[in-house]
């Protein structure tokens, strides 16, 4: 089963990479109208090909591991997601810290040439939660404060660091910082979050429709 999932993960990642290339081309193209119409037809054919066997929106993908929190279609880091930048994250669980490397492309643009502010918040939110989960304190974001210090430009390699600060029962506090890789002393954005782990019985209610055990967001993770 593990080998089968690994093989499928590779295939999902390959498709995800191809789709990210397609999305990037779609949001940057200036081809003639007839070429746009041709591309739209091809895209619908691809949709039909992939739609022959779909899971419901509440179902967990076979390539995921909800006990550890691995989401292959995460919009932040998922190898299979066509909308993920994607971020590559290194975990340091003994330090309650994680470090993500990411470059935001045209598909996530807000103001011209700049990353959308909501995308910046999403990147910070991910490393905030992941820094805590990696140290064994799973939880959902209860509050998130984002401070935008400077514009975040598209096409610039970024480093996003999350740090677990404190834990009190089911509540954990974490901070995060986003910088350009070539200018690590200049903070572009920073965040702070309160993360609350669900009690096991509450998690069973919240994730009941998945039909799976979901441990990564509970107080026992």
Does residue 220 surpass a pLDDT of 60? no
Residue linked to tokens 């702070």: 192
H or E element that contains 112: none
Report the predicted TM-score, pTM, of the whole model to 2 decimal places: 0.93
- Catalytic residues, by residue number, are 125
Band of pLDDT at residue 221, cut at 50, 70 and 90: very low
Rounded CA-CA distance 209/178 in Å is: 35
pLDDT classification of 206: cutoffs 50, 70, 90: confident
Residue 61 is classified by DSSP as: P
**CB-based contact 186:122 (threshold 8 Å):** no
Report pLDDT digits (tens) over 134-143: 898 888 999 9
Which stretches does DSSP call E strand in 22-170?
88-92, 97-103, 140-148, 157-168
Helices (DSSP H) in the chain: which residue ranges? 2-28, 33-50, 117-134, 200-206
Distance, in Å, from the CA atom of 221 to the CA atom of 213, rounded to the nearest integer, reads 11
Query: How far is it, in rounded angstroms, from Cα 77 to Cα 130?
Result: 12
Q: What is the pLDDT of residue 92?
A: 96
pLDDT digits (tens, 9 = 90+) for 41-84: 999 999 999 999 999 999 999 999 988 888 999 999 999 999 99
Asked if the model's pLDDT at residue 14 lies above 60, the reply is: yes
Going across the sheet that includes 140-148, the strands are: 88-92, 97-103, 157-168, 171-180, 183-196, 140-148
**Residue showing tokens 């990353």:** 115
pLDDT band at 208 (very low <50, low <70, confident <90, very high): confident
Boundaries of every domain in the chain? 1-221
The highest-level CATH class for domain 1-221 is alpha beta
pLDDT surpassing 90 at residue 35: yes
State both tokens at 102: 């990411």
């Amino acid at each position: 089963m593990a080998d089968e999932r690994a093989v499928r993960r590779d295939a999902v990642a390959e498709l995800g990479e191809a789709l990210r290339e397609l999305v990037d081309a779609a949001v940057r193209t200036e081809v003639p109208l007839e070429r746009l119409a041709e591309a739209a037809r091809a895209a619908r054919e691809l949709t039909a090909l992939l739609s022959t066997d779909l899971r419901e929106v509440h179902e967990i993908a076979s390539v995921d591991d909800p006990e550890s929190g691995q989401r292959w279609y995460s919009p932040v880091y998922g190898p299979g997601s066509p909308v993920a930048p994607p971020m590559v994250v290194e975990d340091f669980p003994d330090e309650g810290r994680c470090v993500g490397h990411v470059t935001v492309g045209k598909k996530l643009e807000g103001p011209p040439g700049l990353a959308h502010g909501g995308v910046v918040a999403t990147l910070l939110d991910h490393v905030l939660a992941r820094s805590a989960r990696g140290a064994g304190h799973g939880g959902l974001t209860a509050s998130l404060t984002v401070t935008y210090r400077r514009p975040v430009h598209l096409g610039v390699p970024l480093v996003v660091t999350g740090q677990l600060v404190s834990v009190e029962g089911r509540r954990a506090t974490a901070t995060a910082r986003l910088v350009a890789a070539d200018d690590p002393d200049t903070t572009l954005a920073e965040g702070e979050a309160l993360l609350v782990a669900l009690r096991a019985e509450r998690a069973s209610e919240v994730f009941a429709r998945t039909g799976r055990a979901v441990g990564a967001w509970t107080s026992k993770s």
